[in-house]
Every structure is written in structure tokens, then in C-alpha cells.
Amino acid sequence: MAQGRADRLAQWKAGYKMSVLIEMKNMYKIYEMGTEKVHALDGVNLKINKGEYVAIVGPSGSGKSTLMNMIGCLDVPTSGEYLLVGQDISKMSDRELTMIRRRKIGFIFQQFNLLKKSTALENVELPAMYNGNDSKERKKLALAALEAVGLGDRTKHRPTELSGGQQQRVAIARALVNDPPVILADEPTGNLDSKSGEDIMEMIENLHGKGNTIILITHDKDIAEHATRVINILDGRITSDKYSEKQRKGVAK
Amino acid sequence: MSLYEALVSSLKAIWSNKMRSFLTMLGIMIGIFSVAVLISVAQSSTSSITESIENEGTTQITISLRGRRIQNTFDLNDVEDIRELEGVKNVAPYTSGSLTLKNSAESMDVQVTASNDEYDDINNYNLISGRWISKNDEEKRLRVVVIGIDVADELYGTRDVVGEKISLSGTSFTIIGVLEEQGDTMMGSGDEVAFIPFATGQRMFGDISISSIYVGTEDSESVDTAMSAIENFMLAKAGGDDTSYSIFSSSAMLEMLNETTTTMTYLLGAIGGISLLVGGIGIMNIMLVSVSERTREIGVRKAIGATRANIMVQFLIEAVIVSGLGGVFGIILARLGTNLAGQIMEMNVTLDSVIVVVALGFSIAVGVIFGIYPAAKASKMNPIEALRYE
């Protein structure tokens, strides 16, 4: 894992030409509510490159959650195409989607969603377990991931014994453990006080700095400012797609 | 995810709801326990009865005469006629009465049987000392008696009593033999007994009628032939009134007993089936509660890469562990229960290994059958909705 990340970091630093990670072509998601048809996604076209830090911003009901579910391979579009690392997700079966989630997506949730009865280590091991790593291997991976989020000394703690910020860091470690190409964070600071929220955002920025591709879903424009690219969504359509000040500054350097 | 990992995670879930899991287990436990004990007791008691019948011999046929009318018309000539019937080897007339047996010091009331020199053959009797009643005793109506070991023990305190005098309700008899230990039979103690020649008995009891005739056949194959010959003879003798006598053979009785045991086992099995059904519904109920409580957990697991099969296996194993453990504890309790029942009933009650295997198999099957629906429900959850569940 560490080796792969270091390689990627090296490539990125060397000005490696960014390759397309996510590509959505004319994607629709239509829910039928009785006789009415609701267009949760109304023709979305989107490309996200490897190594980008993208914030998807919109108020509730804008379709950002639907878009997140699509990106996270939790759902498939009604029509259109979704290519993730070159694979077409839109026609995949439930089982195939699960396999993609296992290997390609790291989820960070607003509610942390850790298993309450399990220790931090066990929580972090879970994706590795489903991925088929044996117990020794996944323990090593999980310890490394917890180490990376600064919780190497909290491995035996259960979620109830950890602060909100610590719980979210465990969740981040869990998202990282299978070293997925996409990290998908859904309002990661929504349940945290501002100090812990800042810590988490800093940690996510660090992950980006190490070459991870981050997609951040939020309704909060300030939080979105942390990203290098901000996509606004409203009524299922992308209304704007801009590189942020920071990115421009970064490019200017 | 390997089976072992699913097992560990299921055990954790069961352990975190100890009380609930235990109560659910209890349903299966009680079911398995009661069926295992009841079937064991039923099987053990029939096998002990079977054993005692087999000891008495399966070549035996008993004719009982009911009512004075036939008893008064039935005499020793008829007994001799029966001897001539096909398949018949030995015939012994039988009558009995309660007499007080007394030596110089002690006395006891004993059911005294009066029969002939063939009665011991028919009943497979062996003597520990002395001899059985002879033809000579019979013809001369001698006052001789064969006693059971309990009589010897109680009245003399020794079994070496051949030649001793004994008083039967005031008449002096000579002991000619002691019967070996019979143990308890269906008719009561087989050792608190005494036997005297038939003719002597008629005089002692003041009654010349015959109450039963014991018939011994050549071998167990000729029982059926002899039965039907005796049937015809008796029907003619009773003038068509087949209610005035009854004939039964020990082999027919064994057959009947086996049928009863089989019916009983099925019946108890059915009761067990019902209790397992109830236990199974309990498991299903608690699994459904567990699935709905853990909706969010299921959502998380699915989001981070658990397949339907992973979720299914996890919950199914949980159900199987609960019911399987219920089965194991039920069997352990049944083991103790059969020991206790054996002590109380003063017989050897064993928990058959077949019962153990079948009971464990059933308890696991119950877990699978009643766990499938909740597990399938969990596995089919939509991760998006499950993650949104409060």
C-alpha cells in the first residue's frame, strides 16, 4: 500500500499527466413517485481526473446525494454512462457493484458509521476482510491506516470511547485500508464541532497531498473551499464547475 | 470473508445480546431436552419389558378362562386334548391362591401357584437347588413345594432349605426346590412365590377349577400353528362363546409392544417437532428484530464491500449458532435428566446416541430453516436506504 502511494506521489510530483478516473456521460436518474417522474439527475456530464480534490456542492434536494450514490457505486443511473477507471458501472449487477465498491471506493460518512461493538482496529479491518486479506495481512494494513490518521494508540478502543473527531479519523482509516483510487466523503464534518471539523479537513487535504483522489459532498460552501475544484449542482444539473482560488494559486506557484 | 470470520462476528453479535440470545436458545433447549428424555425413558422401559418377556420364552401360549361356566366345564381331560394339538409340546394347568407360609418363627403371605411337572419348562424356570414338581408328586398329591428365593431368604435367612418343613396355611409341606432369582415381572415379584402340584393345589384352595392353561410350543416358529389350533379347540369347547376365554402368546405380545413403542416414539417425536417449531419461530422473530436493529450496520457493511452472500452467511450462522447451542445444552440437560429418571424409576435409562445425533441435526436444521428468511431479508437490503435508517 505504502509503496503504491509513494509511487503515485512521485508520479504526481513529476507532473505526471493526469488520467481520467471518473467519466459520466449524459447521466439521468429518474424516480417515479406515483404518476410523477422526478429527475434526481438530469443529464450530468462530468470528468474527474486522478489526484483531483473535488467538492460537489448543493442544497438538499439538489441531487448531490444521488450523484454521490452513483459515484460510490451504490446505485446505477436510469440512463447514461458511468465509467470508473474505464469500467462501465451503469450496467453492472448488484454483486459486481459490490466488488467495485470493495476495491475502488473508500467511504467517509457524516455519521461515521462505525460498528459500535467492534474496536477501532476491527472497524478498519472490515473492508480488508471483505476484500479477502487474511487476518495477519489485514491487521497490518489496518494498523498502518490507523497510524496514518494518528490513532495508532487507540486501536483497542470502541467508538463509544472515542471523540467524534477520533471516530471520523477511524472512519478515514477504514476508507484508506484497501487503498482505493477514490475517496468519497459525504459531509465528513457535518457531525463535528468546528475544531474537530478543521482537523478532519486538514487530514483530508493531506490525503490529497499524498496523491489520493478525493470527492467531497457538502452543502457548505466554506468546507467546499478546501477543494481544488468546486462543482455546484442544482435540480439534478451541474450549474458550475470551477477550479478554486487555491488551485489557481497552486498553479501559479 | 471466510466462514471462520463470519462465525466470530456472529458470536460477537450473540454475546452482545446475551439475555435475548439465551431466551431464544431456551425454546430450542426445552424442546430438545423434553423429547430426548421422553423418548429415552419410553425406549428404555419397553426394552426392559421386552427383555423380561424374552426371558420367559417366546414359545409360550397362555389360555385364560373367564367366568365360572367355562371354568366348571373345563377339566384335566381337556388339558390332555390340548396336548394333542398341532405344534403343542407342553401343557400345564394353572390355578393359584394366596396362602400364608410359615416356618417355626416367621410367616408371610404368598401367591401360590398350583401346576404340573411341565410348568417349569414352559416358563424357562431354573432351580438353584433341589428339583421341580414331578409326575409322581402330581399323581400322589404329595405335599411338596418349590419356593422362590425371597421366601427362602425371608423365612429361613438361607437358600439352603431343601428338605425343610414349611406350613402352607396350616398344612405341613416339604420344600423340594428353590427357584433361581426371577426379578420383577409384569405380574409383580417373581421371587416371592411358591409352587405346588396341581392336584394338591385343588385340594388346598378348595377349588377344583382350572383358571389358566399354559402351553409350550415346539419352537417359536410353531407358535402361530399352535395358536390357531388352540383357537379352534377353545371355540368348540366354549360352544361358540369366544368371550369366555382369551389366548395370547408372548411373541404376539412382543409384537404388540414393539408396535406400541414405535407409535409412542413417533408421537413423542411429533410433540418434539411442535416444540422445535415454536422454538424456531422464536428464532425467526428475534432474528427479524436483530436485522431491523442492525439495518445501519448492514448498510455500512454493504457499502464497504460485503456481498449479499456475506450478509446472508453472517445472519444465517447467527441463527444456527443460537439453535445449535440450544440443541447442545438441551442434550446436556437430557443426559442429566435421563440419569435422574433412571434413578427415580429404578431402571437403566440411557440416552441413545441416535437420539443425540438426530436431536442435534434437528436443532441445526431449525436454525437454517427459520434463519433463512431474516438472513435473506438482511442480504437484500438496499445499502442507500439502510445507511439512511435511523
For A102, name the nearest residue in chain B, comparing CA atoms only: B305
**Torsion sign over Cα B264, B269, B275, B281:** negative
**pLDDT of B286 over the 60 cut:** yes
φ, ψ (nearest 5 deg) of residue B254: -60, -45
Percent of chain B with pLDDT over 70: 98
Pairing state between β B127-130 and B188-189: unpaired
Closest CA to B292 of B372, B206, B212, B386: B386
Give me the amino acid identity at B181: E
In angstroms, what separates the C-alpha of B295 from chain A's closest C-alpha? 11
Give yes or no for residue B270 having a pLDDT over 50: yes
| Number of domains chain A contains | 1
Chain B positions with Cβ closer than 8 Å to A: 1, 5, 12-13, 16, 296-297, 299-308, 310, 383-384, 387
Cβ pair A73, A89 in contact under 8 A: yes
- Which residue from B minimizes the CA distance to A183? B304
Q: Name the burial class of residue B256, with classes exposed (0-12), middle (13-18) and buried (19+) by CB atoms within 10 angstroms of its CB.
A: exposed
pLDDT of residue B239: 82
A157 falls within a domain: yes
| Maximum distance among all Cα pairs of chain B, rounded to whole angstroms | 105
Which residues in chain A are closer than 8 Å to B313, comparing Cβ atoms?
A: none
How far A140 CA sits from the closest chain B CA (Å)? 17
pLDDT band for position B370 (cuts 50, 70, 90)? very high
Residue A87 lies in a domain: no
Would you give the DSSP letter of residue A52? -
Asked if residue A25 belongs to a domain, the reply is no
Q: Which residues of chain A lie closer than 8 angstroms to B306, CB-CB?
A: 98, 130
What are the angstrom distances between the C-alpha of B164 and each of B142, B177, B254? Answer: 15, 10, 39
CA distance between the termini of chain A: 30
Q: Hey, what's the cell of B68? A: 365360572
Nearest CA in chain B to A113: B300
Min CA distance, A251 vs chain B (Å)? 35
d(CA A94, CA B110): 85
Mutate to test the interface with A, among B7, B16, B304 (most CBs of A within 10 A): B304
Locate A46 and state its grid cell. Answer: 462530468
Q: Which of A97, A118, A126, A141 to mutate to test the interface with B (most CBs of B within 10 A)?
A: A126
Residue of chain B minimizing CA distance to A133: B1
Q: What is the Cα–Cα distance from B46 to A44, expressed in whole angstroms? A: 80
Instruction: Give me A110's grid cell.
Output: 457524516
DSSP state of A161: G
The pTM assigned to this predicted structure is 0.73
Q: Which residues contact A178 (CB under 8 A, 6 or more apart)?
A: A102, A103, A106, A127, A128, A131, A141, B305
Give strand pairing partners of B247: B63
A30 within some domain: no
Cross-chain Cβ contact B306/A130 below 8 Å: yes
Confidence at residue A10, expressed as pLDDT on a 0 to 100 scale: 59
Chain A residue at shortest CA distance from B17: A117
Pick from A95, A113, A117: CB nearest B16: A117
Segment B111-132, tens digit of pLDDT:
899 999 999 888 888 899 999 9
Element housing A87 (H / E): strand A87-88
Q: What is the CATH number of the domain that holds A224?
A: 3.40.50.300
Q: Could you tell me if residue A22 is inside a domain?
A: no
CB atoms within 10 A of CB B353: 8
Q: Is residue A46 part of a domain?
A: no
SS3 of residue A195 by DSSP: helix
> A44 pairs with which residues across the strands?
A27
Residues in chain A with CB shorter than 8 Å from the CB of B318 are none
Considering only A15-24, A209-218, B31-40, B367-376, which range has the smallest mean pLDDT? A15-24
Question: Chain B: nearest CA to A249, how far in angstroms?
Answer: 36
Reported as a single tens digit per residue, the pLDDT across B86-109 is 888 999 999 888 888 888 778 888
Q: Which residues pair with A240 in a beta bridge?
A: A232
How many CB contacts within 8 angstroms connect chain A with chain B?
56
Cβ-Cβ contacts under 8 Å, B305 against chain A: 98-99, 101-103, 127, 130-131, 178
Which is it for the CA torsion A151, A224, A178, A167, positive or negative?
positive
> What residue numbers bound the domain in which A163 lies?
2-12+53-75+93-252
- Chain B: give the shortest CA distance to residue A246, in Å: 32
Q: Do A101 and B303 touch (CB under 8 A)?
A: yes
* B304·A102 Cβ contact <8 A: yes
The alpha carbon of residue B11 is apart from the nearest alpha carbon of chain A, in Å, by 12
CA distance A126 to B103: 89
Whether the CB-CB separation of B190 and B148 falls below 8 Å is answered with yes
Strand B193-197 to B107-115 pairing: parallel
Is there a contact between B16 and A74 if contact means CB atoms under 8 Å apart?
no
How far is B80 from B93, CA to CA, in rounded Å? 10
Residue A85 lies in a domain: no
Give me the pLDDT at residue A253, please: 36
The CA distance from B59 to B217, in Å, is 5
Between B5 and B325, residue with greater pLDDT = B325
The rounded distance, in Å, linking the Cα atoms of B149 and B151 is 5
Residues contacting A245, CB < 8 A, separation 6+: A225
CA closest to B11 among chain A residues: A117
Beta bridge partners of A24: A46, A82
Residue B355 CB contacts under 8 Å (≥ 6 apart), including other chains: B36, B39, B40
Predicted pLDDT of residue B243: 84
Q: What pLDDT score does A249 carry?
A: 53
The CA distance from B81 to B318, in Å, is 74
pLDDT digits (tens, 9 = 90+) for B134-168: 999 988 889 999 999 988 888 888 888 898 899 88
Specify the pLDDT at position A100: 93
Which of A41, A94, A187 should we substitute to test contact with B (largest number of B Cβ atoms within 10 Å)? A94
pLDDT reported for residue A5: 65
How many angstroms separate the Cα of A201 from the Cα of each of A24, A204, A216?
A: 27, 5, 10
The answer to whether B110 and B192 are in contact (CB under 8 A) is yes
In a domain, A38, yes or no: no
CB-CB under 8 Å, A129 with B299: no
Q: What is the largest distance, in Å, between two alpha-carbon atoms of chain A?
A: 55
What cell does B305 get?
Answer: 464491500
Interface mutation target, options A98, A103, A124, chain B, most CBs of B under 10 Å: A98
pLDDT at B4: 83
How far apart, in Å, are the Cα atoms of B125 and each of A129, A200, B131, B147, B221? 74, 96, 11, 12, 21
Which residue stretches of chain A have pLDDT < 50?
Answer: 1, 15-17, 251-253
